Amino acid sequence: MAVIRTLALTLLCLLAGAAHAASTKAYMSIIIDDLGQNSERDSRTLALPGPVTLAVMPDTPHASDFARQAHKAGRTVILHMPMDPATGPYAWHPGLPLEELARRLDAALLKVPFAAGVNNHMGSRMTAQPEAMAWLMAELQRRDLFFVDSRTSAATVAAAKAQEVGLANVSRDVFLDDVRTPEAIAEQLHKGVELARRQGSAVLIGHPYPQTLQVLEREIPRLAAQGITLIGLHQMIAERSNQAMPAHGRHGRYSNR
């Protein structure tokens, strides 16, 4: 009887461990910014394996054509919206009236067809403006678009304003290529893997630099073996349910409001 009890206990422990492993999910989403500038790099980015999200800048020579190509290939396209300190005809700046912000948003979305959402290009000053960010989130809600806070500044209120109105949103956790060497980029990707394991998900943003693409071409196929599931932004938004991650707030609420 003692042997049977021991075997039964061992089996229960194994089943419990298997159930825990099955319930422990580690998801990752990758966004590549600044697309539409260079056809060769755009095409190489489009060829990356898995549901990589493509963020297209409106003030680039290939924006519309590439957005259509990416959509046809089944990729999620988002508008990479220029915000202060970015410059150009579409850029948002503090002090611009809401009517002008609306006009620039309209024009930018026309340049990037099939955009499912928006993230900010630069924007360290603009995303700290509560009134403008509140207007933007309400407008994106009206248009049935989501928002990704690139978190180019710790002072951002963008995600908090999205959360307030119930707009579908996520925030970036890791920048891949602030340092443009394959070694540094691989280390940042590993940081994303560890974060996804620890908190269940991680959102990474990179750029179509040759070094970044080289690392992603090599490492994305290896993610599954590390227990990481690469998912698109729509699924990531559903997984996170508009909740702030621990680095961005407390108890699921964004700190900056």
Within the chain, how many helices (H) and strands (E) appear? 9, 11
Task: Kindly state whether residue 3 falls inside one of the protein's structural domains.
Answer: no
- Per-residue pLDDT, 123: 83
Count of domains in the chain?
1
- Per-residue pLDDT, 147: 98
Task: Kindly state whether residue 2 falls inside one of the protein's structural domains.
Answer: no
Task: Kindly state whether residue 110 falls inside one of the protein's structural domains.
Answer: yes
Whole-angstrom distance, CA of residue 87 vs CA of residue 126? 12
Q: What is the CA radius of gyration of the chain?
A: 20
* Selection from 109, 143, 115 nearest residue 53 by Cα: 115
CATH number of residue 164's parent domain: 3.20.20.370
Task: Kindly state whether residue 53 falls inside one of the protein's structural domains.
Answer: yes
H helices of the chain, in order, are 2-23, 39-46, 63-72, 98-111, 130-143, 158-165, 182-199, 210-219, 233-240
- Per-residue pLDDT, 11: 45
- Per-residue pLDDT, 152: 94
CB atoms within 10 A of CB 241: 8
- Per-residue pLDDT, 52: 98
For residues 82 and 110, the answer to whether their CB atoms sit within 8 Å is no
Question: Which pLDDT tens digits describe the chain residue by residue (257 residues)?
Answer: 444 454 444 444 444 443 344 448 999 999 999 999 999 999 999 999 999 999 999 999 999 999 999 999 999 999 999 999 999 999 999 999 999 999 999 999 999 999 999 999 998 899 999 999 999 999 999 999 999 999 999 999 999 999 999 999 999 999 999 999 999 999 999 999 999 999 999 999 999 999 999 999 999 999 999 999 999 999 999 999 999 999 999 999 998 87
Task: Kindly state whether residue 166 falls inside one of the protein's structural domains.
Answer: yes
For residues 172 and 148, the answer to whether their CB atoms sit within 8 Å is yes
- Per-residue pLDDT, 256: 81
Q: Quote the pTM value.
A: 0.90
For residues 42 and 78, the answer to whether their CB atoms sit within 8 Å is no
Whole-angstrom distance, CA of residue 73 vs CA of residue 166? 30
Task: Kindly state whether residue 152 falls inside one of the protein's structural domains.
Answer: yes
- The gap from C-alpha 141 to its chain's centroid, in whole angstroms, comes to 18
Q: What does DSSP assign to residue 225? A: G
Whole-angstrom distance, CA of residue 132 vs CA of residue 98? 7
Task: Kindly state whether residue 211 falls inside one of the protein's structural domains.
Answer: yes
Domain extent, residue 29, equals: 25-254
Task: Kindly state whether residue 157 falls inside one of the protein's structural domains.
Answer: yes
Residue 148 gets the label, from left (phi > 0), alpha (psi -120 to 50) or beta, of beta
- Per-residue pLDDT, 257: 72
